[in-house]
Structure 1
Amino acid sequence: MYIQANASSEGTTRRAQRAEDVLAMQRAVRKGGTRSLLRWLADRTGTWTRLIDTAGAAVPVDPAGGLDDEAAELIHRGLGELASRSLRSMAIDGENHTVLLFPLSAPRGVRAPALAAVVQRPVPVHLPALLADAASALSLCWQAEHAERLRRRIERAEARNREAVLHLLMNGHLTAAHQVAGALHPPLPPMIRFYAVECPPRVRDDLSARCAEVAEDAWVVPCPVYVDHILVIAPAGAPALAETFAALTDDCLVGASEELPLRDTATGYAQAFHALAAARSQSARHARFAGRPDLALAIGPAAAAWAKEVLAPLHAYSAKRSQDPGSGELVATAASWLTFSSQATAHLKIHRNTLSARLKHIGELLNLNLDRLADQSLLALAFRADAIPSGNRDTRTAHSLDDLLTQPAAVAWAHRQLHPIRMRPSAGELERTLATYLCNDGRLGPTATELSLSTTATRKRLARIEALLERSLLRSPSVRYDLWLARRAVRLTEGR
């Protein structure tokens, strides 16, 4: 009777201890998943415990962690036995160690790891049951983590695909964009309104998801260039979303473009970006692009003929080596750099040295010094004029840039660009600041030095000009090219 009572008491104690261990495992899983559970298991058993890949690769020896050559060889042999005999557990003895292996369960087609424990002989009586319980908990935990890894991988793949569609649209490759977008949702609309949402980087992921929820028919893409921007391409016929996006959080701004054909996505982006500059000075925190005529369109066919001549060396270029960028890639590089400045490296996914080398090559082909704002403005106008439909092109001899800028339509355009500044009481101060900024190739430091102002004071003046123009000036895409061309046109006609 005494022996039976003692055995019964020991059995009750073991069951109570096992239950307590299971509860402790659950707490460890909730605290930190498989890693937390493995740490608890190592502390609880005092043994070397790991999740081991079951692919049959050699197990690295870790003497400091308690895994010597004998134990590593036992694990390797045991994994082979598990695979060949489809066992659910295994104990394999060596001279000094016993290795216990428990393959984790997983869905069909998924290779799960195995729980391995290296124990000094003899093996404690309670250890196999404890490891079996741990393997069961680890199986559920590992499967949940595996599913989460797959979900994140799918999200990253979809995000990259959406970013690829955005790149294709920005570069005018509509057919390829439609092909890639066909595997995703929603379909690309023929007419769009582009939105740029500015928010703190820490909330961008969450805000992107919320934007996608409230605009189900829109394309929502975290900006590949600016970490505080979200880009949205919405169907033109949909209700205006700027106010809706601005209401999602108190610390965001929204800029909206005009309604444009899908082929003009790059124009829509620039318009939405400029609208952000206007939104910064409005209590509603959102603004729509205040449309003004484009210089290339204001001049008309003559600008297209001029652009064709300017860009001819670039379009005719053929790379000497297969690994070198061709004409199309150089055009895309120049367009990206004119839009994003040094941030073009993030847009094009290239190293800054690669960008510098390409820009140097482009400058040599076109006989331009792309460090100068004057030549940057010329090239920006040439790209815009080159996009004028071929049916509207002038077949006569191309003009020079100064000839184009002195045409009445160009002069009228220039005065409209500068009018918001010139009508202000402090017009003289603002015009001098702008002129100095443009003469210093859009560089803030030299501008501040020439004006005998601090960098902060100069930035504030330029921000005032941004607000008046309702255009971005300090951050690319910038209106500085248009402003340089406008001042050049006015100076040519006024004889200054």
Structure 2
Amino acid sequence: MSREPEDVATPSRDGDLLRLARLSVGPDAVRDILDWLGRRTGGAALLVGADGKVLAGPTDRLGPGTLLSPAVGAAIADLSRRGSSAAVVDTGGPTRVHLLRLDGGAPDRSAASLVAQVEEQVGYLAVVAAPERQLGELLADAARTLSLCWRVEEADRARRRIVAADAHGREAVLHLLMVGDVPPARRIASALRPHLPDALRVCVIECVGRQRYEVAAEIDRSLAGRAWIVPCPVRSNHLIALVPAEPSTGDAPAPGREAARRGAGRTDPVDRLGRLITARARQCRVGMSEPVALADTATGYEHAFHALAVARAASEGYARFDRQHDLVPLTGPDGYLWAQRLLQPCLDHVPARRADPGAMELLGTLSSWLAFDTAASRHLKIHRNTLTGRLRLLNALLGMDLLRVPDRSAAWLALRVRAAPRPDDPRAGTVPAETVPADREVTLDHLLAAPAVTAWARARLRPLRATDRSTGLETVRAWLAADTNLSATSAGLGISVSATRKRLARAEQALGRSLLHAPDARHELWLALRAVELADG
């Protein structure tokens, strides 16, 4: 015995209105109403667009994007042309299609709407039912409720699109800053807000679960919306915040150690922010960089990441980067000449096809690879095979093996030297580059043998030579010799992988630098070890 369609035998308008009201507040109101309306009419109910394609339907019917029928499409076009709101289409079979235009708001005709193609779509309720059914009153009531529910769902979809577009825009700004492309980053940021500051601190927060959302809201509230907050595109449990640097006397920001000395006697606002985050979200760990110029955001990120390695073992869960003298200025005009010559084949590269990466894109790939290793594919939003192909091209152009730590370290130093102020820039405080003969042969060993670099290297490695950390230097040296492979390192030391990892974790705390997670300090440490080897003969 066949089951009677729901409510068909005893139709009641009050009952229908009550049922529609209850369905309209559900999480999937449009689909639920269409499901019920199909059962109520003994047929099928769908929501179609002006082109006759299904926008929404019951769970067991046609999916979105399906063309209902040519006759229905022609009837909708006729309705639109005549300005009518309802029609009945005779399909030539045992059923008819009832069409009702859903009421919508005033269409948005602004230029922004036309460019974004987000104008509200006109919807029609289509009910396929037997010819003898009298459905006018029922469909009119259902269409009014369905129209409101459809507009609410459309608004929610539009909100999600806006949120996703904003997130992608902010991630794009961060990526541009990480590769040093400041002007386009400023242009995008000016539209998304807040404006990017001239000097900033980079804050890297390691979160648990959904804490990223809570921490982001706390930072935004504490800094009154002045921070640039971006979920890390590489690590799903990291949050990156670009915090405006505290201005010094006057209007110009004062990045560097001088600012730190001036603020030594008082609590820095960024320190208060870092401690506030760890106090509110106790499982979080926070690493904070020193002030850097906007163009040096990538350096600030590395500094904050190193501070995060220290924060993991700190009782309060917060650490600030302890800057030591940078290697780059010590290389002088010879360093700039060496870096230019090393990178010149990449700078001169002209892609064979328009779709192939150009010189700047290759340099960006190289920088990302040196910072994130295989996670560079996530950072650059490319396939891992594409990353492998670009690395193969970089190896050929530069004559290097970018899987080996010595070559990686040389490329790392070259990129940093090239990004620094030129030696003929008065701010650099070095001899003008023109005083260096263009045909002079400059090697990496030549740079590392300079007395100033040797002094830097000894200071850099001094924490590993402490008597209570007798195995620190040995472990780091073996780790670098094994190209940072833990299994090979443990085999060379004759200890287990877990023991090697523990030794490197202790070395992280001694150095104040990350070793077990990229971006790590492998390049800096290899250069320091090489400089000491050259000095000691």
Task: With the length of structure 2 as denominator, give the TM-score of the two structures.
Answer: 0.82
What is the one-letter code of the residue matched to 2:88? Answer: A
Partner of 1:416: 459
Q: Distance in 1 between matches of 2:387 and 2:68?
A: 53
The 1:81–1:318 alpha-carbon spacing in structure 2 relative to 1, beyond 3 Å, is closer
Match of 1:218 among 227, 242, 248: 227
What is the one-letter code of the residue matched to 1:87? Answer: S
Q: Distance in 2 between matches of 1:89 and 1:460?
A: 74
For the pair 1:406 / 2:415, whether they are aligned, the reply is no
Partner of 2:309: 277
For the pair 1:99 / 2:97, whether they are aligned, the reply is yes
Q: Distance in 2 between matches of 1:247 and 1:365?
A: 50
Partner of 1:437: 479
Q: Distance in 1 between matches of 2:340 and 2:443?
A: 12
> Matches of residues 454-465 of structure 1 in structure 2 within 5 Å?
454-465=496-507
> Matches of residues 339-358 of structure 1 in structure 2 within 5 Å?
339-358=371-390
Partner of 1:470: 512
Q: Distance in 1 between matches of 2:222 and 2:360?
A: 37
Consecutive unaligned residues in structure 2, runs of 5 or more:
1-9, 108-119, 248-268, 425-429
| CA displacement 1:82-113 (0-9 Å, x = unmatched) | 22222223233344112122222222222232
Match of 1:81 among 71, 78, 83: 78
TM superposition shift of 1:13:
7.8
What is the one-letter code of the residue matched to 1:116? Answer: A
For the pair 1:112 / 2:122, whether they are aligned, the reply is yes
TM superposition shift of 1:424:
4.6
1:342 partner SS: helix
1:196 partner SS: strand
Match of 1:182 among 177, 180, 190: 190
TM superposition shift of 1:207:
3.6
Q: Distance in 2 between matches of 1:52 and 1:206?
A: 40
Q: Distance in 1 between matches of 2:320 and 2:382?
A: 33
Q: Distance in 1 between matches of 2:528 and 2:165?
A: 44
Match of 1:192 among 194, 200, 214: 200
Match of 1:330 among 322, 343, 362: 362
TM superposition shift of 1:338:
0.8
The 1:471–1:243 alpha-carbon spacing in structure 2 relative to 1, beyond 3 Å, is same
The 1:155–1:434 alpha-carbon spacing in structure 2 relative to 1, beyond 3 Å, is same
1:164 partner SS: helix
TM superposition shift of 1:364:
1.6
Partner of 1:8: none
Q: Distance in 1 between matches of 2:143 and 2:409?
A: 66
The 1:260–1:314 alpha-carbon spacing in structure 2 relative to 1, beyond 3 Å, is same
For the pair 1:122 / 2:127, whether they are aligned, the reply is no
Q: Distance in 2 between matches of 1:451 and 1:232?
A: 39
TM superposition shift of 1:18:
3.0
Match of 1:53 among 49, 52, 56: 49
Q: Distance in 1 between matches of 2:105 and 2:298?
A: 45
Would the aligned equivalents of 1:201 and 1:227 in 2 still touch at CA under 8 Å? Answer: no
Q: Distance in 2 between matches of 1:329 and 1:100?
A: 57
The 1:426–1:190 alpha-carbon spacing in structure 2 relative to 1, beyond 3 Å, is closer
What is the one-letter code of the residue matched to 2:47? Answer: L
TM superposition shift of 1:32:
2.6
Would the aligned equivalents of 2:23 and 2:29 in 1 still touch at CA under 8 Å? Answer: no
TM superposition shift of 1:257:
0.8
Q: Distance in 1 between matches of 2:98 and 2:291?
A: 67
Would the aligned equivalents of 2:340 and 2:418 in 1 still touch at CA under 8 Å? Answer: yes
Partner of 1:6: none
TM superposition shift of 1:398:
4.6
TM superposition shift of 1:377:
0.6
Q: Distance in 1 between matches of 2:125 and 2:228?
A: 44
Partner of 2:493: 451
TM superposition shift of 1:70:
13
Match of 2:396 among 345, 360, 364: 364
The 1:98–1:334 alpha-carbon spacing in structure 2 relative to 1, beyond 3 Å, is same
Partner of 1:7: none
What is the one-letter code of the residue matched to 1:237? Answer: E
Higher mean C-alpha displacement, 180-189 vs 50-59? 50-59
TM superposition shift of 1:65:
4.5
Kindly report the root-mean-square deviation, in angstroms, between the aligned alpha carbons of the 2 structures. 2.8
Higher mean C-alpha displacement, 307-316 vs 267-276? 307-316
For the pair 1:145 / 2:130, whether they are aligned, the reply is no
The 1:488–1:53 alpha-carbon spacing in structure 2 relative to 1, beyond 3 Å, is same
Task: With the length of structure 1 as denominator, give the TM-score of the two structures.
Answer: 0.88
| CA displacement 1:403-454 (0-9 Å, x = unmatched) | 22222221221122222222152422x3332222111111122223333444
For the pair 1:388 / 2:414, whether they are aligned, the reply is no
TM superposition shift of 1:482:
0.8
Partner of 2:323: 291
What is the one-letter code of the residue matched to 1:33? Answer: A
Partner of 2:291: 259
| CA displacement 1:305-359 (0-9 Å, x = unmatched) | 2222222222233334333322222111111111111111122222222211221
Partner of 1:25: 23
Higher mean C-alpha displacement, 174-183 vs 392-401? 392-401
TM superposition shift of 1:479:
0.3
The 1:87–1:205 alpha-carbon spacing in structure 2 relative to 1, beyond 3 Å, is farther
Q: Distance in 2 between matches of 1:424 and 1:226?
A: 36
Higher mean C-alpha displacement, 106-115 vs 42-51? 42-51
Higher helix residue share: 1
Q: Distance in 1 between matches of 2:304 and 2:226?
A: 19
2:200 partner SS: strand
The 1:398–1:285 alpha-carbon spacing in structure 2 relative to 1, beyond 3 Å, is farther
What is the one-letter code of the residue matched to 2:34? Answer: L
Higher mean C-alpha displacement, 452-461 vs 153-162? 452-461
Would the aligned equivalents of 2:287 and 2:306 in 1 still touch at CA under 8 Å? Answer: yes
What is the one-letter code of the residue matched to 2:16? Answer: R
Q: Distance in 1 between matches of 2:23 and 2:203?
A: 49
Would the aligned equivalents of 1:302 and 1:398 in 2 still touch at CA under 8 Å? Answer: no
TM superposition shift of 1:279:
0.9
The 1:283–1:45 alpha-carbon spacing in structure 2 relative to 1, beyond 3 Å, is farther
Partner of 1:72: 69
Q: Distance in 1 between matches of 2:298 and 2:532?
A: 28
1:425 partner SS: helix
Moved over 6 A (4+): 58-62
TM superposition shift of 1:373:
0.7
Q: Distance in 1 between matches of 2:349 and 2:70?
A: 62
Partner of 2:523: 481
